[in-house]
A and B are shown apart, each in its own frame.
Chain A
């Protein structure tokens, strides 16, 4: 497949990566707005207040900051997810998503190392923080980093050592 083809491997991988990562972020936001497994869904204000208690269990922030984070983070996740899916300014959006996921991963590792027996809160209530959470979040971070690198590489011009583009043949000068 030619490099310039819209279906080349690198481009397909980037597209798959941003769709998967975007989908994960959108789902994460969904589980915070509408608690999964509850029918009918409780109002969003209740779901966000419950999410605040889950953030609080990490014992990192004062209550006011926890409340602020609980009422902004799901919107940030939703926004980033949508931007990743549509592919707008991929370098910037994927870099922000990477920083966000690295932050989550760091907090989860810290809590696990401290032996906190808490709910992860990543995708709604009910998931106890454990090795499975660490591995999954680590994979998300790896995916985000790969996507960001791919986005930057795709945007960059050809490498100075790369093969020069073919110059169309012209008539020799007499």
Chain B
């Protein structure tokens, strides 16, 4: 008689342990295998790895930073380019490099943009090689060029070596990057993201959405308030 009762208790305990160990859905992306401290530094060049960490190369700064910013972006969206050009570099220098912010790029290609998904694929492929920043900069700065004729490959090729380009093209053609992009999109939908750019800022367990382009001074003011 006792055996089934004990086994039920053990099973229940095991289930509880499993559930407790499972990170909350909103934290799943952060809860991936830990990376070496050196790799967590701002502007860190992530080592090429095959689907080890989907954020490798697309996230910057320390994972233990008090603030996490997830930027849901579409490479073909003009407002995303404006946000990138107005905010990205200053944010990296002032907050990411100083360990205050953990910055994550999330792809949120909108169906209305013909080439944005392909651009996201190139960017994710470049992230696998640790070249995300270069490709991101090229895609945004040359948005006017490739959005007309879809010449993404040429724009990316201009900033990567031929050897890197071969790997990027192979990854893009493989179709294995779609899952990562879809994962970002579904994560955005969990945050009720419905436009780009949207920055989802997490601090002390609270999540603050900022949809649209924001002036750096006001973003800095908001981040400073969060850090107080």
In the docked arrangement, what's the CA distance between A45 and B69, Å?
19
Known: A118-B212, A125-B208, A126-B209. A53 touches B226 (CB 8 A): no
Q: Output the least CB separation between A54 and chain B (Å).
A: 8
Q: Does B12 contact A (CB under 8 A)?
A: no
Question: Is residue B211 contacting chain A, with contact meaning CB distance below 8 A?
Answer: yes
Asked whether A49 lies within 8 Å of B221 as measured between CB atoms, the reply is yes
Query: Does A21 lie at the interface of the complex (its beta carbon under 8 Å from any beta carbon of B)?
Result: no
A window 35-63: CB within 8 A of B:
35, 38, 42-43, 45-46, 49-50, 52-54, 56-57, 59, 63
B214 contacts A by Cβ under 8 Å: yes
Chain B interface category by residue count = 20 to 34
A133 close to B (CB within 8 Å): no
Chain A residues 103-152 with CB under 8 Å of chain B are: 116-119, 125-126, 128
Quote the shortest CB–CB distance from B214 to chain A (angstroms).
Answer: 5
**A117 B79 Cβ-Cβ under 8 A:** yes
Q: Which residues of A contact B213 (CB under 8 A)?
A: 57, 59
In angstroms, Cα B194 to Cα A126, docked, is 10
Q: Given the known inter-chain contacts A38-B206, A128-B194, please indicate yes or no for A63 contacting B211, CB distance below 8 A.
A: no
Q: How far is the CA of A114 from the CA of B110 in the complex (A)?
A: 20
A43 neighbours in B (Cβ, 8 Å): 225
Contact with B218, one of A42, A67, A128 (Cβ below 8 angstroms): A67
State how many angstroms separate the Cβ of B44 from the closest Cβ of chain A: 28
Is A125 touching B209 in the complex (CB atoms < 8 A)? yes
* Contact indicator A53/B214 (Cβ below 8 Å): yes
B196 closest partner in A (C-beta): A117
- Assess the B221–A52 pair: CB atoms within 8 A: yes
Closest Cβ of chain A to B213, distance in Å, is 7
Given A42-B206, A126-B192, decide whether A57 and B222 contact each other with a Cβ distance below 8 A. no
Alpha-carbon gap, A115 to B208, bound state (A): 24
Question: With A118-B211, A118-B212, A125-B209 known to touch, is A53 a contact of B219 (CB < 8 Å)?
Answer: yes
Query: Which of B79, B218, B219, B225 has the most CB atoms of chain A within a 10 A radius of its CB?
Result: B218
Q: Which residue of B lies closest to A116 (CB)?
A: B212
Identify the closest chain B residue to A57 (Cβ).
Answer: B212
B195 at the interface (CB under 8 A from A): yes
B215: Cβ under 8 A from any A Cβ: yes
Residues of B within 8 A of A49 (CB): 218, 221-222, 225
CB-CB under 8 A from B192, the residues of chain A are: 126
Smallest distance from the beta carbon of B53 to chain A beta carbons, Å? 30
> Closest approach, in angstroms, between the C-beta of B174 and any C-beta of chain A?
33
A52 to B208, CA, bound (A): 13
Q: A66-B218, A67-B218, A67-B221 are in contact. Are A50 and B210 (CB under 8 A)?
A: yes
Q: Which residues of A contact B226 (CB under 8 A)?
A: 46
Cβ-based interface call for B149 (8 A): no
Q: With A50-B208, A67-B221, A116-B212 given, can you name 12 additional A-B contacts, CB distance below 8 Å? A: A35-B208, A46-B222, A46-B226, A49-B218, A50-B210, A53-B219, A63-B215, A66-B215, A66-B218, A117-B195, A118-B212, A125-B211
> What are the nearest 6 A-B pairs in CB distance?
A57-B212, A49-B222, A118-B212, A63-B217, A49-B225, A117-B195
